[in-house]
C-alpha cells in the first residue's frame, strides 16, 4: 500500500569498512516524506555510521544512495545540506556566542540591497520559523544562555531554514527532562505534518512507540529487520537488537549487607549542601535526581575530583583527604564518571593500556611492566566481561560505547585487591540494552563479593531495579531516602521535583577541576 | 577461555602488521631517497657520507628523543635550541676559565634540569599553554646568553678532553670504521628512552597523560609530575646535545642551536607524533630524523643551494601535519 510512495531517501546495499571492523554490511534503508523512521540497535551496531554516511561525514565503500529517486554521492556535509538533509547530533554544533537568529541562519544570512546582513529580516524570519514549530525563543539571546532543549530546537529551526526535507535526530532526548521531551515530540509532529522525513535514533523503546511509524533494527553492522512499529512488541525489538531473548534486565540477588563502609558527613562544596549518608559493605546505594540536581557532583566530591569545602569522607574507617583522587584510590575507591570520553577513556591508547591504567603497579616491578602479566590480566577481563574487541592492542576509540564502558569498569576491577567502593555515575548512559544488562549483572556480582556500590542515575527504572537503598537528591542536597521495598517511580519523582516549575533546575554540575 | 588464547596468539602477527602500517611509509621514503641519491651522486654510498651523517645525527636525535616525550605528553618545547645555546655558552665559559671538563658537564646538565623544571612550573601550576611558555623562553634564553657572552664565539682550542669526546671514537670496527663517541652516547640514550616509553609505568603514564590528562588524573596518575618530567628530560637532553656539539666544534658558537627546535618538531611530527598528544614513538622519530638528515645531506652532495635545507624542514612539518590531520579525519575524530 505505502510501497507506492517514493522514499525521500533510499539506501541500497550500503557498506562501510573501518580498520579491523565492518561497520555496515549490505544495509538497505529508506525513509519517506512525513514519516518518522526509528533506528534501533546496540552501540556499535552501525547506527552512527549510517547516520554519518547520510550526513556526508563518511563516504560509503559500497552500495547506492538515492534522494528523491536521484543517485547521490556525498563528499562532505555540505553536499548533504545541498540535498536538504540535516543531522542534529547529540553534541549540537551551534556557536555559543552568537544569537539564536544568527545561529539559525548561519551560513546564509538574508542581505540588504547593499549587501549587509539584514538583521531585522533575520530576526523576523527566525521568529516565524520558531513560531511554526510552536516555540517561543527570543531570537536575540545568545545560544550559550539557552537550555540544552532550547538549543536543540534552534538546531531544528536551523534545519528548516535550509528547507530540510530530511532531519536525522541522534538520541535527541538523552539530556532532556520529561516536559522537554513532550515539547520535542510536539515539534516532531509538526514536522511530520509538513512532510519532513525524520530519522530518529534512540535507545528508549517507549519513545519509539510514541512517535515512530517504522523501525529498523541493526545488529553487528547488519540490518535485522524493518517493520511498522504497530506490528512489533518491545520484547521483540529487544530480541532483534540483542540477538536473543533478554529474560531479566535487572538481576538482583539477595543482598548481604555488611558493616558501614563509606561514611559521608556534612559534605559541602561544588554545589553540594550538607550531604550525609552511609554505604555498607555489600550494599548498592542508588542516588537518583534530575539533571542538575548534583548526583554526579556528589560522586566527584567524595572521590576528590571536585572541590570539597566542608565535611568528612571515611572509607572503611580511614579518613579520605579532600580534593585528592590519589588518596581516594589508595584508600580503596574507584570512580566511573558520567562522561566517558572527557575523563574516562584515553582514546589513542589500546584496550589493554586503558584497562590497566589504574592498576599498573600490580604488573610492575619498580617501574618495569611485566608485559605477560599485564596481557594475561587484560585478556582475562576481556573474557569475563565479554568485551568485544578484535585484540587487546585495538585502540579503544574503535570500540562501541558499551564495550568502552566495560573496559573502564575493568580498570577498577583489576584493583580487586584493594577496591572497596565503586562509584558509578550513570554507567549505562548511551549504552545499548545488552551491555546495560551485563553492567547490572556486574554490579550485582561486585556487591555479592562485599564491595560497596554507589550508583548515580537519572533513569528511574535502573535505580529501582538494582539499588538496595535509594537516596534522592534535589538542588545539591538529599531530599529523601527509600528502601528498596518503599521506593516507587511516583515517590522518586515527587522527592526529586524542584519546587520551581518543571525543568528549571539550573544548578550546573561542575566538572572535576583535576588534571 | 578460547578468546584469551586468540588474543594471545594473534599478538605476534598483529604487532608486525601494525609496525608495517606505522613505519612502512617512512621506511620506504628513506630507502627511495638513499637509492635516488646514490644513483645521482658518486659519493653518497660511501663511508664518508655515513660518517658525515653519523656526525650530524646525534644532536638531532638527542633533541628529538626529548621532544618526542614532550609531544606524547601533549606539550611542545620551542625553546630547545635556546637551551642548547645557553648550555653551550656556559660550557665554553667554564672550560675557557680553566674549570675541569666534568664540572662543565655537570653544570650544563644541571642548567637543563633547572630550566626544564621552570618550564614545567609555568605549564602545570600556572596552566599556561606550553607553546606560549616555551616561545617566551626561546627569546629570553637566547637574549640572556647573547648578553652574557657579548655574542662572541668562544673558542676552546686544543682542550684535549673536549676533542676526545667530540671527535674521538670508541672503537675501530671492521667495515664501518671508527665509531665516534657522540654516536655511542646517543645510541645508549635512545635505547634507554625507547625502553622507558614502551616498557615502564612512567612511559605508559606519559602516553596516558598526553592522551587524556583528566582520565589519567582520575586513575591516580601524577599528571603534574609526569608533565614536569617530560619537560625536564627534554631540557637536559638539549643541554647534553649542546655539550656534544661544542665538544665537536671545540667552540661555543653564538648561533648554536639556532632554529633547531623547528627541525626537531618537524621530525617528531613526521615520525608519527600528534600535536594532540598521546601518540608517537621513538622508532618513528628516529626514522624521520634519518630521513631528514639524508635529505639534507643529499642536497649538499647534489650541489643544490644549501639554503634549501631550511625549506625542506618546513615542508616536512607541513607534510607531517597533513598526514596527521588526514589520519584523524579517517578516525572520525575531527
Q: Is some CB atom of chain B closer than 8 A to the CB atom of A342?
A: yes
What does the pLDDT look like over A457-475, one tens digit per residue?
988 888 999 999 999 998 8
- Domain membership flag for residue A513: no
Least Cα separation, residue B3 to chain A (angstroms):
7
Distance from CA of B111 to the nearest CA of A (A): 27
> Is A166 a domain residue?
yes
Q: Could you give the CA distance from residue A103 to residue B28 in angstroms, rounded to a whole number? A: 48
Residue A514 contacts B, CB cutoff 8 Å: yes
Nearest-angstrom CA–CA distance, A350 and A396: 5
Q: Which of A180, A212, A242 lies at the terminal end of a domain, its last residue?
A: A242
The per-residue pLDDT for A285 is 97
Question: CB A357 to CB B219 under 8 A?
Answer: yes
Q: Are residues A391 and A455 in the same domain?
A: no
Q: What is the rounded CA–CA span in Å between residue A69 and residue A87?
A: 20
With CA atoms as reference, the chain A residue closest to B226 would be: A515
A115 in any annotated domain: yes
Chain B partners within 8 Å of A392 (Cβ): 7, 11
Q: A357, B216: Cβ pair inside 8 Å?
A: yes
Restricting to B residues 47-86, those with a Cβ less than 8 Å away from any Cβ of A are none
Assess whether A47 and A142 both reside in one domain. Answer: yes
B207/A348 CB distance under 8 A: yes
pLDDT at A397 over 50: yes
- For the residues B306-318, what does the mean pLDDT come to? 77
Nearest chain A alpha carbon to B123: A515
Same-domain status, A207 and A82: yes
Phi, psi of A27 (to 5 degrees): -100, 130
Q: Does pLDDT of B101 surpass 50?
A: yes
Interatomic CA distance for residues A287 and A49, integer angstroms: 34
If asked whether residues A144 and A280 sit together in one domain, one would say no
Residues in Cβ contact with B100 at an 8 Å cutoff, skipping those fewer than 6 apart: none
Task: Say yes or no: B208 contacts chain A, CB-CB below 8 A.
Answer: yes
CA distance B64 to chain A (A): 21
Kindly state the helix (H) or strand (E) to which residue B189 belongs, with its residue range.
helix B181-199
DSSP letter string, B9-63: HTHHHHHHHHHHHHHHHHHHHHHHHHHHHHHH-SSTTSHHHHHHHHHHHHHHHHH
pLDDT in tens, B52-80: 677 778 888 999 999 999 999 999 999 99
> Among all residues of chain A, which has the CA nearest to that of B273?
A348
Residue of chain A nearest B227, judged by CA positions? A515
Between helices B201-211 and B223-249, what is the axis angle to 10°?
110
In a domain, A251, yes or no: no
Q: Does residue A40 sit in the same domain as residue A153?
A: yes
> Closest by alpha carbon to A472, among A498, A449, A500?
A498
Residue where a domain stops, chosen among A389, A417, A445? A417
> Residue A247: inside a domain, yes or no?
no
Determine the Cα–Cα distance for residues B258 and B145; give it in Å rounded to an integer.
12
Nearest CA in chain A to B225: A515
Q: How far apart are CA A304 and CA B37, in angstroms?
A: 59
For residue range B149-158, what is the model confidence (pLDDT) as tens digits?
765 555 555 5
Indicate if A196 and A283 belong to the same structural domain: no
pLDDT for residue A261:
96
Chain A hits for B279, CB-CB cut-off 8 Å, are 348
Task: For B221-259, write each residue's pLDDT tens digit.
Answer: 999 999 999 999 999 999 998 888 777 766 555 565 667
Q: B226 in contact with A at a CB cutoff of 8 Å?
A: no
Record: contact A514-B217, CB cut-off 8 A: yes
Question: Where does the pLDDT of residue A501 fall: very low under 50, low under 70, confident under 90, or very high at 90 and above?
Answer: very low
Contact with chain A for residue B14, Cβ under 8 A: yes
The answer to whether the Cβ–Cβ distance between B222 and A326 falls below 8 Å is yes
Q: What does the DSSP 8-state code read for residue A477?
A: E
Q: Across residues A345-368, what is the average pLDDT?
A: 93
Contact B212 A329 (CB under 8 A): no
Question: Residue B10 and residue A391: Cβ atoms within 8 Å?
Answer: yes
Task: Give me the residue from B1, B200, B279 closest to A348, CB to CB.
Answer: B279
Residue in A closest to B333 by C-alpha: A397
What is the structure's pLDDT at A484? 92
Where does a domain end: A242, A277, A309? A242
Cβ pair B333:A368 closer than 8 A: no
Mean pLDDT across A98-107: 88
Choose from B4, B126, B194, B215 for mutation: most chain A CBs within 10 A: B215
Q: How far is B285 from chain A (nearest CA, A)?
A: 18
Q: CB of B275 within 8 A of CB of B269?
A: yes
Distance between CA atoms of residues A220 and A24, nearest Å: 8
Each residue of A113-132: pLDDT tens digit?
888 888 888 999 999 888 88
- For residues A154 and A207, state if they share a domain: yes
Chain B within 8 Å of A339 (Cβ-Cβ)?
no
- At which residue does the C-alpha cell 570512580 appear? A335
Q: Choose among A330, A346, A368: nearest Cβ to B200.
A: A368
**Is residue A509 over pLDDT 70?**
no
Place A432 in a pLDDT band, splitting at 50, 70 and 90.
confident
- Read off the CATH number of the domain in which A289 is found: 3.40.50.300
Please give the pLDDT value at position A43. 66
A 371-390 residues inside an 8 A Cβ radius of B:
371, 375-376, 379-380, 382-383
- Same domain? A431 vs A298: yes
Classify residue A338: in a domain, yes or no: no
Q: Note whether residue A253 is domain-resident.
A: no
Question: What's the confidence (pLDDT) of residue B47?
Answer: 63
> Pick from B3, B208, B277: which is nearest to A383 by CB?
B3
Q: Does B30 touch chain A (CB under 8 A)?
A: no
Q: Which helix or strand (DSSP H or E) is residue A167 part of?
A: strand A166-170
Distance from CA of B106 to the nearest CA of A (A): 26
- Note whether A430 and A291 are same-domain residues: yes
Q: Which residue has the higher pLDDT, B189 or A206?
A: B189
Q: Of A99, A142, A97, A145, whose CA–CA distance to A119 is shortest?
A: A99
Domains parsed from chain B with CATH numbers: 25-325 (1.10.3470)
* Residue A186 and residue A313 in one domain: no
User: With contacts defined as CB-CB under 8 Å, which chain B residues touch A362?
Assistant: none
What percent of chain A is modeled with pLDDT above 70?
94
Looking at the fold, whether A398 and A428 belong to one and the same domain comes out as no
Q: In total, how many domains does chain A have?
A: 3
pLDDT at B156: 52
| Substitution target from A21, A357, A364, A393 for chain B, most B beta carbons within 10 A | A357
Q: Please report which confidence band the pLDDT of residue A508 belongs to, taking 50, 70 and 90 as the band edges.
A: very low
The Cα diameter of chain B in Å comes to: 71
pLDDT, average across residues A199-225: 89
Across the interface, whether the CB atoms of B223 and A515 are under 8 A apart is answered yes
pLDDT of residue A305: 94
* pLDDT given for residue A292 in this prediction: 77
Which residues of B fall within a CB distance of 8 Å from A305? 217-218
Cβ of residue B173 closer than 8 Å to a chain A Cβ: no
Q: How confident is the model at residue B165, as a pLDDT?
A: 62
Provide the residue range defining the domain that includes A229.
Answer: 2-242
ipTM score here? Answer: 0.84
Q: DSSP of A89-116, one letter per residue?
A: -SS----TTSBHHHHHTTT---B-TTSS
| A369 has a chain B CB within 8 A of its CB | yes
Helices B260-270 + B308-330 axis angle, to 10: 40
Do the Cβ atoms of B214 and A326 come within 8 Å?
no
Whether residue A428 sits in one domain with residue A413: no
Element (H, E) at B70: helix B47-72
DSSP A206-260: HHHHHH-SEEEEEETTEEEEEEEGGG--HHHHHHHHHSS----SS--PPP---SE
Size of interface A-B (CB pairs under 8 A): 115
User: For the segment B246-301, what is each residue's pLDDT rounded down to a tens digit?
Assistant: 777 665 555 656 678 888 998 998 888 888 899 999 999 999 998 888 888 777 77
Residue A410 within a domain: yes
Q: Residue B43's pLDDT band (boundaries 50, 70, 90)?
A: low
Amino acid at each position: 500500500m505505502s510501497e507506492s510512495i517514493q522514499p525521500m531517501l533510499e539506501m541500497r546495499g550500503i557498506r562501510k569498512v573501518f580498520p579491523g571492523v565492518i561497520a555496515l554490511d549490505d544495509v538497505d534503508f529508506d525513509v519517506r516524506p512525513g514519516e518518522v523512521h526509528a533506528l534501533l540497535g546496540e552501540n556499535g551496531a552501525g547506527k552512527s555510521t549510517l547516520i554519518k554516511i547520510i550526513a556526508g561525514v563518511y563516504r560509503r565503500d559500497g552500495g547506492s544512495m538515492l534522494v528523491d529517486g536521484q543517485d547521490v554521492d556525498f563528499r562532505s556535509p555540505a553536499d548533504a545540506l545541498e540535498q536538504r538533509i540535516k543531522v542534529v547530533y547529540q553534541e549540537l554544533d551551534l556557536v555559543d556566542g552568537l544569537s539564536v537568529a544568527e545561529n539559525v541562519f548561519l551560513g546564509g544570512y538574508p542581505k540588504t540591497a547593499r549587501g549587509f546582513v539584514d538583521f531585522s529580516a533575520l530576526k523576523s524570519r527566525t521568529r516565524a520559523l520558531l513560531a511554526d514549530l510552536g516555540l517561543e525563543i527570543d531570537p536575540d539571546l545568545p545560544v550559550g544562555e539557552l537550555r540544552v532543549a532550547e538549543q536543540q530546537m534552534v538546531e531544528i529551526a536551523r534545519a528548516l531554514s535550509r528547507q530540510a526535507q530530511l532531519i536525522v535526530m541522534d538520541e535527541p532526548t538523552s539530556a532532556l527532562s520529561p516536559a522537554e521531551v513532550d515539547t520535542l515530540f510536539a515539534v516532531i509532529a509538526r514536522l511530520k505534518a509538513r512532510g519532513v522525513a525524520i530519522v530518529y535514533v534512540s535507545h528508549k523503546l517507549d519513545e519509539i512507540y510514541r512517535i515512530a511509524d517504522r523501525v529498523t533494527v541493526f545488529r553487528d553492522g547488519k540490518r535485522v529487520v524493518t517493520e511498522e512499529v504497530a506490528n512489533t512488541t518491545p520484547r521483540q525489538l529487544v530480541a532483534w537488537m540483542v540477538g536473543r531473548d533478554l529474560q531479566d534486565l535487572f538481576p538482583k540477588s539477595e543482598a548481604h549487607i555488611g558493616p558501614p563502609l563509606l561514611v559521608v558527613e556534612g559534605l559541602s562544596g561544588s554545589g553540594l549542601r550538607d550531604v550525609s549518608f552511609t554505604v555498607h559493605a555489600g550494599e548498592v546505594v542508588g542516588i537518583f535526581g534530575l539533571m542538575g540536581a548534583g548526583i554526579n557532583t556528589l560522586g566527584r566530591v567524595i572521590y576528590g575530583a571536585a572541590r570539597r569545602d566542608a565535611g568528612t569522607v571515611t572509607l572503611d574507617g580511614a579518613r579520605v583527604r579532600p580534593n585528592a583522587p590519589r588518596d581516594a584510590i589508595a584508600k580503596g575507591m574507584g570512580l566511573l564518571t558520567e562522561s566517558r570520553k572527557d575523563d574516562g577513556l584515553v582514546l589513542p591508547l589500546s584496550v589493554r593500556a586503558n584497562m590497566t591504567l589504574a592498576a599498573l603497579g600490580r604488573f610492575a616491578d619498580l617501574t618495569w611492566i611485566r608485559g605477560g602479566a599485564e596481557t594475561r590480566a587484560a585478556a582475562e577481563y576481556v573474557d569475563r566481561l565479554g568485551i568485544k574487541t578484535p585484540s587487546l592492542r585495538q585502540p579503544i576509540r574503535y570500540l562501541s560505547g558499551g564495550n568502552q564502558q566495560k573496559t573502564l569498569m575493568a580498570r577498577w576491577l583489576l584493583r580487586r585487591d584493594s577496591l572497596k567502593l565503586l562509584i558509578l555515575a550513570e554507567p549505562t548512559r548511551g549504552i545499548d540494552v545488552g551491555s546495560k544488562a551485563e553492567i547490572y549483572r556486574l554490579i550485582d556480582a561486585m556487591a555479592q563479593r562485599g564491595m560497596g556500590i554507589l550508583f548515580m542515575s537519572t533513569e528511574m527504572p535502573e535505580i529501582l531495579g538494582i539499588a538496595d537503598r535509594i537516596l534522592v537528591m534535589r538542588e545539591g542536597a538529599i531530599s529523601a531516602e527509600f528502601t528498596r521495598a518503599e521506593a516507587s517511580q511516583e515517590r522518586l519523582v515527587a522527592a526529586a521535583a524542584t519546587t520551581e516549575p518543571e525543568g528549571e533546575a539550573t544548578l550546573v554540575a561542575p566538572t572535576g577541576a583535576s588534571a | 577461555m578460547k578468546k584469551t588464547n586468540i588474543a594471545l596468539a594473534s599478538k605476534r602477527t598483529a604487532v608486525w602488521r601494525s609496525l608495517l602500517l606505522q613505519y612502512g611509509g617512512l621506511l620506504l621514503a628513506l630507502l627511495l631517497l638513499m637509492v635516488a641519491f646514490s644513483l645521482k651522486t658518486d659519493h653518497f654510498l660511501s663511508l664518508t657520507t655515513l660518517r658525515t651523517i653519523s656526525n650530524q645525527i646525534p644532536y638531532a636525535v638527542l633533541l628529538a628523543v626529548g621532544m618526542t616525550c614532550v609531544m606524547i605528553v601533549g606539550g611542545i618545547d620551542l625553546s630547545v635550541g635556546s637551551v642548547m645555546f645557553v648550555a653551550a655558552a656556559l660550557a665554553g665559559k667554564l672550560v675557557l676559565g680553566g674549570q675541569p671538563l666534568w664540572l662543565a658537564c655537570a653544570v650544563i646538565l644541571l642548567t637543563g634540569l633547572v630550566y626544564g623544571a621552570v618550564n614545567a612550573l609555568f605549564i602545570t601550576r600556572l596552566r599556561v599553554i606550553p607553546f606560549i611558555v616555551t616561545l617566551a623562553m626561546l627569546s629570553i634564553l637566547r637574549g640572556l646568553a647573547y648578553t652574557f657572552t657579548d655574542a662572541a664565539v668562544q673558542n676552546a682550542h686544543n682542550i684535549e678532553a673536549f676533542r676526545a669526546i667530540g671527535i674521538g671514537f670508541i672503537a675501530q670496527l671492521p667495515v664501518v670504521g671508527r665509531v665516534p663517541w657522540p654516536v655511542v652516547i646517543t645510541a645508549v640514550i635512545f635505547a634507554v628512552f625507547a625502553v622507558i616509553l614502551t616498557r615502564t609505568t612512567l612511559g605508559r603514564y606519559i602516553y596516558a597523560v598526553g592522551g587524556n590528562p583528566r582520565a589519567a588524573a582520575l586513575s591516580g596518575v601524577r599528571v603534574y609530575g609526569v608533565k614536569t618530567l617530560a619537560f625536564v628530560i627534554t631540557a637536559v637532553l638539549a643541554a647534553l646535545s649542546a655539550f656534544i656539539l661544542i665538544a665537536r666544534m671545540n667552540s661555543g658558537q653564538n648561533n648554536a642551536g639556532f632554529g633547531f627546535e623547528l627541525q626537531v618538531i618537524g621530525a617528531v611530527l613526521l615520525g608519527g607524533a600528534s600535536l594532540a598528544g598521546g601518540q608517537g614513538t621513538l622508532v618513528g622519530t628516529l626514522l624521520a630524523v634519518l630521513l631528514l638528515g639524508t635529505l639534507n645531506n643529499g642536497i649538499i652532495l647534489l650541489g643544490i643551494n644549501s639554503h634549501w635545507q631550511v625549506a625542506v624542514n618546513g615542508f616536512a612539518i607541513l607534510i607531517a601535519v597533513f598526514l596527521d590531520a588526514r589520519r584523524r579525519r579517517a578516525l572520525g575524530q575531527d
